[in-house]
Amino acid sequence: MTPTSYQAQLLFDTLKERNEKIVFAESCTAGRVASLFAEIPGASNYLIGSFVTYRASQKTAVLKVSKATIEGYTAESSQVVMDMATNALALSPEATWAAAIVGDLGPNVSDEKDGRIYVYVIGRSSDCKLQTHVLSKGSRVDRMRDAALYVFECVIDLIGD
Hey, where are the domains in the chain?
Answer: 3-159
Mean pLDDT, residues 121-132:
88
pLDDT reported for residue 16 = 96
CATH number of the domain located at residue range(s) 3-159 in this protein: 3.90.950.20
With b for 16 or more beta-carbon neighbours within 10 A and e for fewer, the 118-145 pattern comes to bbbbbbeeeebebbebebeeeeeeebbb
Mean pLDDT of 98-118: 82
Confidence of residue 160 (pLDDT cuts 50, 70, 90): confident
Q: What DSSP line would sit under 72-136, residue for residue? A: HH-TTSHHHHHHHHHHHHHT-TT-SEEEEEEE---SSS-TTTTTEEEEEEEETTS-EEEEEEEPP
What pTM, to 2 d.p., does this model score? 0.93
pLDDT tens per residue, range 66-95: 999 999 999 999 999 999 999 999 999 999
pLDDT above 80: residue 106: no
Which pLDDT score is estimated for 126? 74
Report, as an integer, the average pLDDT of 102-123: 83
The DSSP code for 31 is: T
**Distance, CA of 116 to CA of 38 (rounded, Å):** 26
Are residues 99 and 155 in contact, defined by beta-carbon separation less than 8 angstroms?
A: yes
pLDDT band at 55 (very low <50, low <70, confident <90, very high): very high
pLDDT of residue 79: 96
